[in-house]
Structure 1
Amino acid sequence: MKSLIDKFLNNTITVSELDELQKWLQKPKHQVEFETYLRDLSDTNTALQDIDFELAYAAVWKSIQKTQNPVKRLYNGWIKYAAIVFLFLGLGYFYQQGFFNEKLEPIIDETHITLQLDNGTIKVINEDGSTKVIDARGEVIGKQEGSQLSYDDNSNTETLAYNTLTVPYGKRFDVKLSDGTLVHLNAGTSLKYPVKFIKGLDRQVFLNGEAYFDVVKDTNHPFIVNADEINVRVLGTQFNMTSYPEDAHTNTVLVEGSVSIYKKDETYNKETTTVLQPGYIASLNKDNDLISINPADIAMHTAWMKGRLILNEVAFKNILKKLERQYNVTFINNYKALENRYFTAKFDIEDIHQVMTSFSNSASFSFTFNNNEIIINP
């Protein structure tokens, strides 16, 4: 198979040999061997060392979109880059009916942070690494360093193009938008946003989950967050917003400045919109579609950014949802009487075992672990 891989890289492989290679690659252990072999080659092969994996991927993707003949496209000068794409993606793409099908189906572990580009391509983000964000034209529009993804405002595009960043349970991540606005994303959250804000248009993003926004002020271009059934409109301020699909409320907590809140199907009207003041929370009840405003405990609503959990008279059923997101676990609660019991607690560096022990001592229940599943019994 090493001989076939060499032919693959040198563009001397035959169609029958290519078919043999793709069948061999269907086994996960062979994919690992393939990746290891390519990495070994890159240590001694100058040509492989000089290739920019990101640009290679962009070029291959663009080529795939332009041709209807998948075998021909590999023979039109892209065959070496196609091998590098395997390496770059960590062998994360498979073909539904074989290596040369036209439709690519990404198979990505749901525990990974992912970035969906405007063309539908999905990139896996390693929060310990670094990478570039490249658009369909091969232009670098942003970069990732560790736990933050930053976008440039130097892009030449004048049309809206969206990326979607998704953070799984158990992780947090930051994104700095092209206008300098910093968004902290909590576990189980996705944010859809333009890679560049266009002059003359509102700065609108779409949230599913929880995020803390530190918005750069621009009086000519309001910043609007759409979450479920409401819009939050600001010019420049800091606020926390929670809109998980399974929650009964969509909450906006204002830290500083002011925000305007109005229904998604309404046009913004300064005279009729709900204005929130610092230190208050606006809650949209998803059942009756009503918005209520009350004083807020800022520390409780923003503790998640430092990995902390502060609970102040919170129902146990809602606590379990928070724990699932923060620790990437699943609960089976066989003690239903606990669901509507309220708890007050603070956790900082405790792991999930310590957290559950604390609650079990307080509420007198037992629990067992089954991998990432936690079973609660009376």
Structure 2
Amino acid sequence: MTNEEAKELILKYNTGQCTPEEQQLVDQWYQQFAVDEHTGLSETDFEVLRKEMWAAVPTEALPSKTHKLWPRIAAAASIILLAGVGLWLGSSYIPGFQDRTAQYAHDVAPGRNRATITLDDGKMIDLSDGKSGVVMGDGKLSYNDGSPVATASRASRTAMASVVTPRGGTYEVVLPDGTKVQLNASSSIKFPSSFKSLAERRVELNGEAYFEVAKNKKQPFIVKSRNQEVRVLGTHFNVNAYDDEAATKTTLLEGSIQINHKILKPDQQAVQAAGNISIREVNATDAVDWKNGEFICDNEPLESLMRKISRWYDVEVVYSNPELKERTYSGSLSRYDHVIGVLKALEFAGTIKFKLENRRIQIL
């Protein structure tokens, strides 16, 4: 790859036009820079270079005590610095990066498509990790590429089915009415096997999911989660309702929704905690970072970020000092990377060290 091609790719990265494969390549360049033992730089030189890179990044919107991760806007500056220290960007091969899992025996791969479905007759099926979604039809079950899964029994109006993702798993579910639901890791959704003859389309969520609700003005769609009900006719929104989170967050991307008698507009988020609901303005796309292959932080405490990492990589997280939990971060990390890459990015921010062994991360 020539310098001009690299610059063009970085421009696409900065403007959000990369394919997932291109985005992963740029992330790999950065991660390799952060971990490569053959740059010839001393720790002092490396620290100076790190500060020079961040000096090129606008910081007006970042709190002074917030640690900066790897934002897209840093990519163009850092690629110049990478070239300056002689790292090779030729072709898509980065020396040493492909062997990273060999270098780190305890490295953990990112989550993947994993889920189980329990049908209305009680039959449980492990869904294929080679597929990305399952479609619930009228008495039939198939993957989203059209291949069959199983034949379900004829459902009564009260029969219920459920889909569950484990830690380190994600899956798309197309409900009987055509509504699309993308489940994040460690989440579940329970729903009727058929919405026919029902006055409303009611589902129950635990964990996190992104909804694209099929429009039906005569049959409202209701999502029940921790201490709240979201009522819609047809729209796109995200619900984060994990049991280990202090608040339930519902974010609207388009259309409108009603939450416990409060109306949300696009780019608004309802936060429910201790029985109270507040509404705030947000960048709604940040709330679905997980769906788009990222961890996006905006002055986010390390403890909150590590809960997401723990679910996605199915790892345990412990802290040598509880005060570390309060350190805050802003920026973007790739969910496509192995956990070592994510941890190295945090370490590169100059704030923590880590130890990884047997799916257990110790923050030092």
| Pairwise CA distance, 1:362 | 2.3
Partner of 1:351: 338
Tell me which residue corresponds to 1:329. Answer: 315
Work out whether residues 187 and 205 of structure 2, in 8 Å CA contact, stay in contact via their aligned partners in 1.
yes
Partner of 1:280: 268
Instruction: Label 1:352 to 1:133 Cα distance change in 2 as closer, same or farther (>3 A).
Output: closer
Q: Which runs of 5+ in 1 are unaligned?
A: 1-110, 263-272
Report matched runs for 1:1-378 at 5 Å.
113-128=115-130, 140-145=139-144, 157-262=155-260, 273-285=261-273, 288-348=274-334, 349-377=336-364
Separation in 2 of the partners of 1:145 and 1:225?
23
Return the offset for 1:228: 1.1
One-letter amino acid matched to 2:182: H
Match of 1:352, as an amino acid?
V
Q: Is the 8 A contact 1:315 1:339 kept in 2?
A: yes
Query: 356-365 or 196-205: which moved more?
Result: 356-365
Shift in Å, 1:353? 0.6
Counterpart of 2:267 in structure 1: which amino acid?
G
Inter-CA distance 364–276: structure 2 relative to 1 (3 Å threshold): closer
Is the Cα–Cα contact under 8 Å of residues 136 and 193 in structure 2 kept in the other structure?
Answer: no
**Pairwise CA RMSD:** 3.0
Relative distance call for 1:132 and 1:317 in structure 2 (3 A) is closer
Number of equivalent positions: 251
The question of whether the paired residues in 1 share the 8 Å contact of 2:133 and 2:173 is answered with no
List 4+ stretches of structure 1 deviating above 6 A. 130-135, 146-152
Mapped to 2, the partners of 1:277 and 1:218 lie a distance apart of 19
Residues 188 and 116 (structure 1 numbering): CA distance in 2 closer, same or farther, change over 3 Å? same
Deviations 1:225-263 (A, max 9, x none): 00011000000111011100000111110011110111x
**Which residue in 2 is equivalent to 1:71?**
none
Determine the C-alpha separation between the residues in 1 that align with 2:127 and 2:304. Answer: 29
Higher relative contact order (CA 8 A, sep 6+): 2
Q: Secondary structure at the match of 2:291?
A: helix
For the 8 Å contact 1:148–1:175, the answer to whether it is kept is no
Unaligned runs of 5+ in 2: 1-112
Give the distance between the partners of 2:149 and 2:238, measured in 1 at CA: 20
For residue 143 of structure 2, what is the amino acid of its counterpart? Q
Q: Secondary structure at the match of 1:127?
A: coil
Normalised to the residue count of structure 2, the TM-score between the two structures is: 0.63
Between the aligned partners of 1:341 and 1:353, the Cα distance in structure 2 is 20
CA distance in 1, matches of 2:147, 2:293: 16
- How many angstroms does 1:330 deviate by? 1.4
Counterparts of 2:352 and 2:132, CA distance in 1: 44
Specify the SS of the correspondent of 2:290.
helix
Query: Following the alignment from structure 2 to structure 1, what is the Cα–Cα distance between the partners of residues 275 and 123?
Result: 36
Name the SS of the counterpart of 2:326 in structure 1. Answer: coil
Q: Letter of the 1:128 partner, please give it.
A: G
> 1:151 and 1:303, CA in 2 relative to 1: closer, same or farther beyond 3 A?
farther
Structure-1-length-normalised TM-score: 0.61
For 2:284 and 2:134, locate their aligned partners in 1 and report how far apart those are by CA, in whole Å.
35
Per-residue CA deviation, residues 59-98 of structure 1 (Å, 9 max, x unaligned), is xxxxxxxxxxxxxxxxxxxxxxxxxxxxxxxxxxxxxxxx
Q: Do 2:303 and 2:326's aligned partners in 1 also have CA atoms closer than 8 Å?
A: yes
Q: 1:185 and 1:144 mapped to 2: Cα distance?
A: 15
CA contact (8 A) 1:174 1:185 kept: yes
Amino acid in the other structure paired with 1:299: T
Q: Is the 8 A contact 1:190 1:209 kept in 2?
A: yes
Q: Which has the larger radius of gyration?
A: 1
Distance 2:170 2:146 in 1: 8
Amino acid at match of 2:142: K
Deviations 1:268-293 (A, max 9, x none): xxxxx1011111000101xx210000
The verdict on how the C-alpha distance between 1:127 and 1:147 changes in structure 2, with shifts beyond 3 A counting, is: farther
Contact 1:149 1:174 in 2 (8 A): no
Specify the code of the residue in structure 1 equivalent to 2:313.
Answer: Y
Report the Cα offset of residue 364 of structure 1. Answer: 3.3
Alpha-carbon distance change, 132 to 221 in structure 1, aligned in 2, over 3 angstroms: closer
How far apart are residue 200 of structure 1 and its match?
A: 3.9
Once the two structures are superposed, residues 333-364 of structure 1 have per-residue CA deviations (whole angstroms, 9 ceiling, x without a partner) of 11211111111120124321111112123243
Quick check: 2:266–2:284 contact (8 Å CA) kept in 1? no
